[in-house]
Chain A
Amino acid sequence: MPGVYAIMAEFETPAATLHAAEKVYDAGFRDWDVFTPYPVHGMDQAMGIKNSKVGWFTFIGGCAGYLTGMLMIWFMNAVDYRIIIGGKPMFSPFAAFPPSYELAILFGSFGALLGMLFLNRLPRLHHPLLKNARFALATHDRFFLVIETGDAKFSDLETRRLLESLGSRHIEWVEE
């Protein structure tokens, strides 16, 4: 269907949406999503979403932060300008630990936030769904199941019939 981005079915309760999502997953769709005002418990399992990879971004960020701290302090106080403090060694990992620890947390936090945005392909300031007037309720109190027309399994009639059979009261086509 040219000019049509997806078909959108509206639901009123999280349970109805959850059961609909299970059916749509079983039907074998790939390019589809469920939009909810808050994260619904069990929805990612119903949709077959795997564990998020955000943790890796944090891990790499944290390691980078810790190493940055240690190397920075070693370079500054033991290599570039050697300062003798109380006759102690020029570099000691114990004195360098607190700033390195803070930098590990700092870089790890940036990793978590930026990793989340990267995995979600955000910021994205244009989206066909955001143009749809009805879809504004997705942040209010409604639940939307959206199947993209680009999906291999998609067919005009069958998909619409499937969504109707799942108990949606309002189904509409979303323009590109």
Chain B
Amino acid sequence: MDHFPASSLVVDEPKLRVQAPPPALERAPLVNNLRSPGWISDRIASVIEGGTPGWWKISFGISVTLMTLCFAMVLWLMSTGVGLWGNQHPMMWGWAIINFVWWIGIGHAGTLISSILFLLRQRWRTSINRTAEAMTIFAVVCAGLFPLIHIGRIWLGWWLLSFPNSNNIWPQFRSPLMWDVFAVSTYFTVSVLFWYMGLIPDLAVMRDRAKTKIRKFAYGLFSLGWTGSTRHWSNYEKAYLILAGLSTVLVLSVHSIVSLDFSVSQLPGWHTTIFPPYFVAGAVYSGFGMVLTLLIPLRRLLKLEDIITVRHVDLMCKIALTTGSIVGYAYCMEFFIAWYGGNPNEKFMFFHNRAADPFIFGPLLGIQPAPYWWAFWTMVFCNVVVPQFFWFKKIRSGLWFVFGLAILINVGMWFERFVIVITSLQRDFLPSNWSDYSPTFVDVLQFLGTFGLFFTLFLLFLRFVPLIAIAEVKGVTPQADPHHPLGGAKIGGKL
């Protein structure tokens, strides 16, 4: 683009004056109380620089205990074998795969916030993107644990990588499980890259404020000598835009590929073409449940109400409503196709083995109740009914009510994966092959333990890394806009 220095242009009094919008149409500010850029730095950095709060110590203690428990169970599993789990023929995929899909789905909200909302120019994302991206990374860490221990002989995990194994055989790339290895490891790596790049200017903020030698050194090292030069910002913003674009196509592919693990098989309940979009929507929905679960208490505990405002929660609820409704639509479509498709096995799976409850639909259709009808209806309640509450502004602005609904979203999405994995495997084509399923306490403790792993990492993140993108939040304040009166521009429309 040619360079036209504004100062060389002669501009007369503007002929057209832009009127301020009527009060009803005015948008709530992204940072409340007209906080200055300096205040934003101080407030966010104080989370790291201040003393360790009591609630942090208590939750860290609980998290580390749970994490240790998880690793102890993993160790036991490694030394004994997967017989410690409830998995048995034909349910070879039990809680491990449920938990894998659940955790990896949670990660998707972080990437959606950091990339898709960036491409859509949703400036409100700046207050929450750092925390959400951290959540993504830690959720993928928890997710990655499960397939690894699920292979049984963990010491052969390297067979998944592109090395010839001990028999000189390469991995087989027609298997969606192999695609999954590439999808998940790329997802983790790119999430870390994107997160780190966003951190560079903020680590420089921490470096320039640091009082102790260790902090100066550590933040100085990881901020890579960032100075805030406009020539650097120019390349930086371009790279950020490109990474946002790449992450967008990545996040849509990751859960699609996870869903192919199921839908490429021939099993009724898994073998459907709707899976990729349905899994992606469900992943984003569950992820927003987790973002809300984390941020509603955090903004209170860390006194960040001016930066993570009620409007942010409101907007996140709307995304949960949208994606939750897509999930509800997908459920309906699965049932429609099961009926309309005319495949007796598929019809049996959806009507007899999932939906038939002992009270209403079972008696109505004259069929036996399904063994896990309660899991199915928990899923329907949490994923179809719960998000509909978000239609109401009163509910969206009642933060603790939203918090409760967010917990239900997390529960519902776990049950969705439970229904998909367990009910489909449990009763396949041959009744002589059918069996019952119940998890063991190792299953339960490992799942609970991953919460310990997640929160240990998350709490450490809160204390060592700026939990809100400082430079980005400064950039969306009115003071940051050189053409806004608060940015120091001349009022009256003159250049």
Contact = CB atoms under 8 A, between A and B. Distances in A.
Interface of A: 12-19, 21-23, 25-26, 33-49, 51-55, 58, 69, 72-73, 76-77, 80-81, 83, 85-86, 88, 95-96, 98-99, 101-103, 105-106, 108-110, 112-113, 115-117, 119-120, 122-127, 129-130, 135-141
Contact of A43 (B168, B178, B230, B474): B230
Given A102-B182, A138-B228, A13 B488 contact: yes
Contacts of A110: 193
Given A23-B7, A41-B481, A99-B178, A106 B186 contact: yes
B230 A108 contact: no
A127 B205 CA distance: 16
Contacts of A86: 174
A83 B193 CA distance: 35
Contact of B471 (A37, A46, A120, A130): A37
B1 A105 contact: no
B227 interface: yes
B186 A103 contact: yes
A58 B244 CA distance: 12
Contact of B249 (A34, A105, A125): A105
B339 interface: no
Contact of A129 (B37, B227, B243): B227
B224 A103 contact: no
Contact of B162 (A43, A72, A112): A72
Contacts of A42: 482-483
Given A36-B228, A129-B227, A140-B205, A55 B489 contact: no
Contacts of A53: 235
B172 interface: yes
A138 B475 CA distance: 14
A16 B239 contact: no
Given A76-B173, A108-B246, A122 B232 contact: yes
Given A46-B6, A88-B174, A35 B229 contact: yes
A98 to B, nearest CB: 4
Nearest to B210: A136
Interface in B174-219: 174, 176, 178-179, 182-183, 186, 189-190, 193-194, 196-197, 201, 204-205, 207-209
Contact of A116 (B183, B205, B236, B474): B236
A26 B5 contact: yes
A123 B190 CA distance: 20
A17 to B, nearest CB: 8
Nearest to B180: A98
Given A42-B482, A102-B253, A138 B227 contact: yes
Contacts of B242: 54-55, 58, 108, 112
Interface in B233-284: 233-239, 242-243, 246-247, 249-250, 253, 257, 260
Given A36-B228, A81-B164, A140-B38, A112 B179 contact: no
A81 B487 contact: no
Contacts of A34: 229-230
B36 interface: yes
Given A77-B173, A83-B172, A139-B205, A106 B227 contact: no
A119 B235 contact: yes
Given A36-B230, A40-B480, A129-B227, A19 B37 contact: no
A25 B3 contact: yes
A19 B5 CA distance: 9
26 contacts: A14-B482, A14-B488, A15-B483, A15-B487, A18-B482, A23-B7, A25-B5, A35-B230, A39-B234, A44-B234, A48-B3, A55-B238, A76-B162, A95-B173, A102-B182, A102-B183, A102-B253, A105-B253, A109-B189, A113-B239, A115-B239, A123-B224, A126-B225, A137-B208, A139-B226, A139-B228
A40 B230 contact: yes
A13 B487 contact: yes
A81 B197 CA distance: 40
Nearest to B222: A123
A35 B246 contact: no
Contacts of A58: 242, 246
B472 interface: yes
A89 to B, nearest CB: 10
A76 B421 CA distance: 31
